[in-house]
A = this chain, B = another copy of it.
């Protein structure tokens, strides 16, 4: 019997992917469940990932003219009601504030008191409360466009939660824009999707497909929802960002009117777009391996960890001196707009030290002991390679080459994910083959199976519904022209065999 390979995380992805996900988050110290139902505590290593994601996205937003602002956490019930589809979409998962005080009850315990005249909903999204402000800010075409973003927490009382992917509270950004014309609003919707796609591919090393959602998967109240979709290592799709063209629905609901250059008063055209801490879940699932997570260098909380090897007390001073000088030289370098972040880990905990950093997914580990110093060399491990694959490098070559090494890792992660996705994307025209593709061998056991199926769709909600019921498969997107998976060829719907204008991306999804 072959010996089971030792991995830092148990179970492995192949053994039990959902459980691996929970364990790898624990092992990498990214986050933990909180005692508050469905809410998470984002620990420093995880939060730093989020800070780097925020910084890179915020820069891109601002380059397109967007400015940040901040709107209230609470939404009066009456505001939420203004857009009919919108409120139906969120009513089932709203945290509702009904009291503004605590009092001692008859048994001495604290009880809610001070009933609010109108209940307040903790924002699940902010179209209606921001729309109210916009209605005051806009009166003439000269006030347009308005391009606003906010970084905030939102609450959606999900019944089944999963850390980072679906939590009752999460952190996100939500952009909201107002335009004088439909054309301009549609262009903005697309522009912001392109920003998300850039964030995913260039920073998260996450290849994505850009497309639009079917009506049943649209944001409640939107005319069109655009999205980016990525494949995780269990071959499920993750929606990594959405951008909504809201038409005039929300401007009618909130009364966002303006007088055009022609002096005619009209409703404005609005968009909204969001991405969240869910992206961290995506980074874990697309790059992680059985030894832990792997963080793409461009969003890494730290790029390099230096591990001094000290076996005798008298080695301590010269080794630490050498390590400190090396750290300083590395920290003087810049990598994609920020200084290189270098950690020195001098804990005396044996082999657990190196493994801690492997589990945390730091891009580069460097061991330095007296023998390395004597040769003026360092012993370098890269997280995109096996933990056994460590190599000697001349110290100055390492320092001179570190930025290149980080770029190589960034590219390698992207390519690995892209190849994996492409390998598990198939074109299927036969219904039986489609059903077999999405059916695991062992229905009792979690198992990695399926992938992206490029198949035809007639356009009916019924056919979507059937696949959802039968296989838990949904249409992730209708890919844009020129996008991966796009095909303008006509064909027959995979379910009903009615005419179809183009292939769409089917998958199981998070």
Contact = CB atoms under 8 A, between A and B. Distances in A.
A47 B70 contact: yes
A75 B169 CA distance: 12
A112 B121 CA distance: 9
B69 A129 contact: no
A454 B76 CA distance: 47
Given A129-B34, A133-B34, A171 B94 contact: no
A352 interface: no
Given A41-B69, A91-B102, A120 B36 contact: yes
A42 B69 CA distance: 6
A77 B110 contact: yes
Interface in A109-137: 109-112, 114, 119-122, 129, 132-133, 136
Interface string A75-114: 1110111000001000111111111111100000111101
Contacts of A95: 74, 97, 99-100, 120
A103 B75 contact: no
A99 B101 contact: no
Interface string A22-49: 0000000000101110011111101110
Nearest to A91: B102
A109 B80 CA distance: 12
B112 A96 contact: yes
Contact of A74 (B36, B67, B100): B36
Contacts of A129: 34, 36
A73 B72 CA distance: 14
Interface core residue of A34, A91, A96, A157 (most chain B CB under 10 Å): A96
A115 to B, nearest CB: 10
B96 A97 contact: yes
A153 interface: yes
Contacts of A42: 69-71
A152 interface: yes
A227 interface: no
A76 B36 CA distance: 7
A155 interface: yes
A346 interface: no
Contacts of A171: 70
Nearest to A74: B36
A79 B80 CA distance: 31
A102 B110 contact: no
